[in-house]
Every structure is written in structure tokens, then in C-alpha cells.
Amino acid sequence: MLIREMNFSDIDRVRDIAIAAWRDTYSSFIPEEIQDKVLKDAYSNEEMDNRFKFSLNLVAENNEEIMGYVFFSGNLSDKDVFLESLYIHPNHQGKGIGKQLMLTGVANFKELTTLSLTVYKGNRNISFYEREGFKAIKEINGEFYGQPLVFIMMKKNLLNME
């Protein structure tokens, strides 16, 4: 498996992975029409252009097949970075790809001390983040395109990373 920086030619495959992962992960508590709106906006050409300008974007690839991706928001010299998105195609989950994407991304930041993320309550993948050392900081009631949701803020201290 190769982990590399994402390039523009990867965008369509990343969008396909986002759709498959969202359907697999969120369909039990986010209606499909809300998912469609989120995915359309979050992976629009404008948003993807912004990610290339302001985020670290990595893909996991094997035999030229992209299996997953990660977006980190933050400057490479930031101490606090936000894990914006980490999605693995459902056919490739449970193989350590997410962990490798996260570790490779973290290694790119020079003085990183904490990594933060937001996850939807009810997402079965919360246990992955807990195994990786993230702790729930707080829950926030909110809404996403009119859909009421509870967001869980999680943070990981990287000073004592193995």
C-alpha cells in the first residue's frame, strides 16, 4: 500500500469513496437526501480546490486503486490540527488503512501536539478513534441541512504518541 498526496486526478475516485462510505456509515441516522446535499457541497469543485490550497490531503492506494483518503486542516507548523475527513471504502475497512493514513498525515506536521475531530454521535466508527487514543471532549446538539444531529468533539494528545 502506498500513501501519497492526493492530486486533482484523484477527485472523482475520492468522491466515489465518500458516497460509498457515507451510505455505509450514516444511512441508519441521516436520510439519503441529506447525505446527497452534504456530499454535493463538501466535494464540489470549489471545496476541493480549497482543500488543495489549505489542507493536507492524502490517499491510500494499492495497485493504482484508491482505497481511502484523509484531509487535515491546518498549517504544517501548527500545534493543533483538525482531522477533517477520514474515509475508507467499505470494501477495504478493517485493514489498517485508516490508521496508516492518520499516522502518515500526522508525521507531516512539524510541531503538532494535538489532533482534533468532530464525529456524528451514532457513527459506529467512533470506536476506531477511541482505539487510536482520541477522547470525547464534549457533545454539541446541532443540525446538518435541517437534520438534527449530535456532534462529538474528540481530541488526541500527540506528545506521548508511540
Mean pLDDT of all residues in 2-14: 97
Share of the chain above pLDDT 70, in %: 96
Residue-range domain boundaries for the chain? 2-117
Angle at 128 between CA 71 and CA 13, to 5 degrees: 40
Per-residue 3-state assignment (H helix, E strand, C coil) for 31-85: CHHHHHHHHHHHCCHHHHHHHHHHEEEEEEEECCEEEEEEEEECCCCCCEEEEEE
32-36, 76-80, 158-162, range with the lowest pLDDT: 158-162
Angle at 154 between CA 57 and CA 105, to 5 degrees: 25
Class of domain 2-117 as given by CATH: alpha beta
Q: How confident is the model at residue 75 (pLDDT cuts 50, 70, 90)?
A: low
pLDDT of residue 162: 44
Non-local (6+) Cβ contacts of 47 within 8 A are 41
Q: Are 114 and 47 in contact (CB under 8 A)?
A: no
Residue 138 has pLDDT above 60, yes or no: yes
pLDDT of residue 4: 97
Mean pLDDT of all residues in 143-152: 90
Residue 160 has pLDDT above 90, yes or no: no
Give the residue from 129, 123, 124, 111 showing the smallest Cα distance to 149. 123
Q: Are 86 and 56 in contact (CB under 8 A)?
A: no
33-72 pLDDT tens trace = 999 999 999 999 999 999 999 999 999 999 999 999 999 9
pLDDT of residue 124: 87
